[in-house]
Structure 1
Amino acid sequence: MKKNQKNSLKNRALIQTAILIIATMCIMVTGFYMIFHSRALNERGNYEEENLINMEAYLNSYLEEVDAIAKNVNYNYYLQDYLETVIKEEDDYEESGIGKNMRSYEMSAQAFSDTLLSRADISSIMIFGKKKMILNRSMYTYQKVAQDYSKLDWYARAVANPQDAIITGPNRHAFFNTDDEVISLSREVQSYENGTFRGVILINLNLNKIAEICNTFQEKQGNFLCILNEKGELVYEQQTGKDSFAFDEKENRQELKNALDKAKENSFNLTYKGEKYLVTKTGMETTGWTLVSMVPYKSVLAETMAISGVMIATVGIILIVTLLLLNRILTGVVKPLKKLEKHIAQVSPDNMDQRMEILTDDEIGHLSKKFNQMLDRIQNLKEQVIEEQEDKRKYELQALQAQINPHFLYNTLDSIIWMAETNDSNIVAMTEALAKLFRISLNKGNEEITLEREFEHVKNYLIIQSMRYADKFTYEISVEPGVEKCRTIKLILQPVVENCIYHGIKKKRGSGKITIRAFRRGDDLIIEISDDGCGMPPEVCRKILSDEIEPENISGSGIGIKNVNERIQLRFGKRYGLSYMSEEGVGTTVTYILPYDEGGSR
């Protein structure tokens, strides 16, 4: 019943509708997700790119501001005069005297003290001649180091590009007693009169101002920002998340730089340490730096995931509401069908009076009308078939009886002829027995007979045969009291008794015996006919009541026995009939199973 409920029309419609809605919504959600996904990446990439461009502008402005400090040296008359004097005297002495050192200190203080005091981002300002450091104003302790400044990158590039500010870093200068990294701006100092060399100014910057600018643009963005120089070295890194990218390690920076070099677009995807990032880059022409922003995909797609969650929840609500409404609609449609199904289930051969009440003029109403018409036609056909079957059974019984009666007559007349030829005095008794036999077999045209009359009929047959086969067999008939009044069909014992004589006793040496017993067993009437003749093989017992054995193999009586069995089953059903049990050299027993019916005689 549960299986039928699962396969019901309403459940199938609900399941199919749910599948259709879910499939449609999945396609829609997937489509919207892909659109929002692409749009979120593009918008975030554009935002990060614009952010980096603005940051670049601020950084350029900051570096130009620092460069302005370096340019001012070119227009300071006292400083220019001092530098010109020192440059000329640079090759004339090995060590500076106390007086010269004091003058250098005073000139440094006069030129750069205000700048250092007013700016926390400048850690030192220095001017180098061709061979030696000329001026120094720094927050770090200066230590004299024998060094050829012309070989240093910042110095050589400044001399090679006298009109440009050179940005280098991160640097750790050996002439300072510190490990702090600084960004260096160097520029050639020239005479304001003729542009001749006056030295190289070096301004060292800490990362305070750069960090301030970066934090202004990246605050609360939940992403990572770094600045790489043209060599792939880390200038600055800033991260607002909890995890560390550790780009201060060379292999990690190289991995990022390789990805930046390969990328054709300003925004691209990068998987780093098992997590996917949206990477945006922009370059600074003045410094050669690359500004890089890395945003975790989960942060970029957070809004998209939230929208997807809302859409999925909406789909779930729509699905539930749709199924509830559809269930209500289908219940109204299926209810008349279930009523029709109930009427159909109640229809049986004994109950053909079920009719559907037609209340609507739709498909269900038309189906109910057709159902009623079908029942009317089945009822008519049933009555017609019953009438035809009764006629058919009557004709079949008559045909079977017509096959048996000539057989009886042939065998009996054969015996009478034999007795007449031998002038046997028992011919009168035999003829009288034959008359009684046929009178009982006719039975006034009735097919039914009492068991008492059937036994009288077979007894007359045995009298006739015992006269013919004198001293060949004896017989015994035993009937349980009360059983003789049972009703059955006529002429069912004589063919089997005949078979006992012809196939059992006649072929046996010496005399034999035929025993007939009748008794009740429950609702059945049992008749057993036994002989102690030669018996039969088991395969003959199995085939004797079927079409598998030829009539001549059983001396003509096979047709009678087969017909007897068919008559019993046609009248009473397949449960009843004959069965054989035989053993070669011992004898044969035939058992009748008939319904026990005390209907009286006719």
Structure 2
Amino acid sequence: MHEQSMKKRLFRFFGAFSLISVVTVAAAACIVSYRHVMEMAVTTSEQIVEKTADEVDNLLEDMISMSRIISRSAGVQSVMRTEYPQYKAQFSDRFELDAYLSELNQYNSSIFAMYFFADNGMAAKSQYYSFINEKAMDNPYCQKALQSEHTIWLPPEQGSQFAVTTGETLLTTVTPVKELGSGEYRGIVVVELEAAKVSSFLNTRVSESGFLYIQDTYGRPIIGPADMTAAQLSERVRQNASYSWKDAIFHDLRIEQPVLQTGWKLVCTVPGRELAQNVLLIIKIVSLVSIGVMGIALLLAYRVAAYIVCPITKLDEKMRLVEQGDLNVHAVPERDDEIGALTNRFNMMLNTIHILMEHEVENQKKLRLTELKALQAQIKPHFLYNTLDSIIWMVRSGDKDGAVRMVMALTQFLKIGLSRGREVITLREELAHAGNYLIIQNIRYKGKFTHEIHLKEEIASCLIPKLVLQPLIENAIYHGMKPKRGSCHLKIWVRPMEKNIVIDVIDNGVGMTEEASAALNNTLRHGSGPRAESYGVVNVNERIRILFGEPYGVTFESRQGEGSCFRITLPMRWEEETE
């Protein structure tokens, strides 16, 4: 009787406790579920918006890229510098520009059409549509772009602002073109894109009744899904109130993301009633499941708690030892159920950790080599296109001797740069490579600078990583000597110093301020700070440190108005030692 009474009292106690627990857990679960569902809806919608925005941005970025390519092309720059006394004088250049624009249009078939207009009356197009007005520089959009000196975006309109098309709805960019010789904006590049291509990305299904659209800077919808007309889009946007999901449950979910640099926004909207239905359904399910689980837990807890907790406690003790760093722990499984399986997996996990740690050591070695190759791959003679272009102009202008000298220098430059796949070359080869680079640049800049190279013959056969001098010389030319008026001089001084090799690249260019010099040295020492203008120098420094360690690398000194000096410090290694 006493035992039964105790059971009754325990039952009443656990009954009351169970009732309170069920109500509390159910309420908490409903609140958590509500927030989770809403957050999941927001997260899913944000992912859709982000993906769609990337696709739209890529499409619009193609328009910007085409504008930049056209603006910087030699043909466009040449046309803007040319004065045409008569309209007929434009025919040859106009034909070449039409062919050039047409070739670009075929390369990027997503673009509808491209046009170029200049203040000297030149007008070119990529398609065979007739111009509305060849003097499009007077167009108000063109005037606005020239005044702002930035690309402007025109919202979709039926038909083109610049040519007689077949009625397509077109999205347009108007970009001013600077004539690089005078620095004046003397032309306009127009790129048109069918709005339907953007609409195709907006067809992504957000929910049963949610949709995506793009609005302009005034909040007006301008592009919607392909299966929705402009009138239907405006009506749907008008019907949906713009509230955040954190407000009342029947308010709409609205997510916005800027579209490139257009000032427009990609908007995702989901009706609040649809969200509310999902939330209420999940709340009902969570409530029922919580009641069932709590009832079962109360029924089984008294009998199985000790049976379950005891082996878990032992396993927890083992885990604590592992947490303290003892990986030689081994747990003995006492049962053949889930707890026993968990114990076995614990042992397997420790074994796996041992294996992974061994693999990690090996992977770090491989990663070090991979980083070296990746950094070296970034340092390439990217001036090749400019060099070839200079050769073409020298041939056209009749300077065959200069073209031959540049071709021979370029051949030797590339030959040494490839070096039959070797990662290290002799100092003599590296300096020959640098000398050829200086010859090419001196021809390109019409003898703006002179140079000298000093190398002690006793260290000429020392081995160094290839392509460590070119980025430093390039930096000295472009940021030191090129901005300076008058002729300049560059000196490369190679000498032994104890067991090291020291290479100085010295120029008498414009130099740098103390703040800029300190910032560059901080970047070289710690890998932090501005890297844009010193990207090649930083890469050389990182390559040397990966190969030889912290004591070696690149240092920098500069005085404004007097010049700069890059110093490379390398260990002295001989060809005989390497073999």
Normalization by structure 2: what TM-score? 0.37
